């Protein structure tokens, strides 16, 4: 009985291990064009599910009141899509005179231009007691901007 209780408590970790084992045993299921169609399910369905689940926890009144913070939204858009990539670019210009591999620098530049992952950003906003409504809205706009 204790094993069953432990499995119920650790269901997520067990699921991750089973998913990894399944991917190792039969990797063709998850390739582009395979039965899971990750080019559709990951790009659209998974992201939409994250937004939907995040939105379920929001109060409608708080969401509508957050939409009027135009200056805040504009600041976040400029910071995320202009200031941070420009800062990374300047930092990479300094690093380019060092013997660091050129492809590593290109990878850092690519990552520096991407918005933060939606799920972790929402979780971190909740964890620090931030305005998660503004956070969810901003990340939805960012996702729509880059897709």
Phi, psi torsion values for 26, nearest 5 degrees: -140, 75
The answer to whether residues 3 and 29 belong to one domain is yes
pLDDT at 143: 56
The answer to whether residues 110 and 142 belong to one domain is yes
pLDDT in tens, 100-115: 898 988 888 888 777 6
- Which tokens in the block code for residue 46? 């998974």
Which residue, of 37, 57, 77, is where some domain finishes? Answer: 57
The answer to whether residues 69 and 100 belong to one domain is yes
In the chain, the number of structural domains is 2
Looking at the chain, how many residues does it have? 147
The answer to whether residues 39 and 103 belong to one domain is no
Residues of the chain with pLDDT under 70: 1, 115-124, 131-147
- List the domain range (segments joined by +) for residue 31: 1-57
The answer to whether residues 51 and 83 belong to one domain is no
pLDDT at 90: 92
SS (H, E, C) the chain: CHHHHHHHHCHHHHHHHHHHHHHHHCHHHHCCCCCCCHHHHHHHHHHHHHHHHHHHCCCHHHHHHHCCCHHHHHHHHHHHHHHHHHHHHHHHHHHCCCCCCHHHHHHHHHHHCCCCCHHHHHHHHHHCCCCHHHHHHHHHHHHHHHC
Which residue, of 38, 57, 76, is where some domain finishes? Answer: 57
The answer to whether residues 95 and 119 belong to one domain is yes
The answer to whether residues 35 and 73 belong to one domain is no
CB-CB contact of 53 with 122 (8 Å):
no
pLDDT at 17: 92
The answer to whether residues 103 and 119 belong to one domain is yes
The answer to whether residues 32 and 95 belong to one domain is no
Cα of 70 vs its chain's centroid, Å? 23
pLDDT at 145: 54
């Amino acid at each position: 009985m204790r094993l069953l209780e432990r499995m119920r408590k650790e269901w997520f970790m067990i699921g991750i291990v089973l998913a990894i084992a399944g991917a190792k045993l039969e990797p063709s299921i998850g390739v582009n064009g395979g039965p899971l169609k990750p080019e559709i399910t990951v790009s659209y369905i998974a992201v939409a599910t994250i937004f939907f689940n995040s939105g379920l926890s929001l109060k409608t009144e708080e969401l509508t009141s957050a939409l009027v913070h135009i200056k805040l939204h504009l600041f976040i858009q400029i910071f995320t899509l202009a200031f941070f990539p420009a800062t990374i670019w300047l930092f990479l210009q300094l690093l380019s005179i060092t013997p660091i591999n050129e492809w590593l620098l290109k990878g850092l530049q690519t990552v520096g231009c991407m918005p933060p992952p939606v799920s972790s950003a929402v979780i971190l906003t909740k964890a620090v007691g931030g305005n998660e409504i503004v956070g969810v809205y901003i990340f939805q706009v960012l996702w729509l901007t880059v897709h």
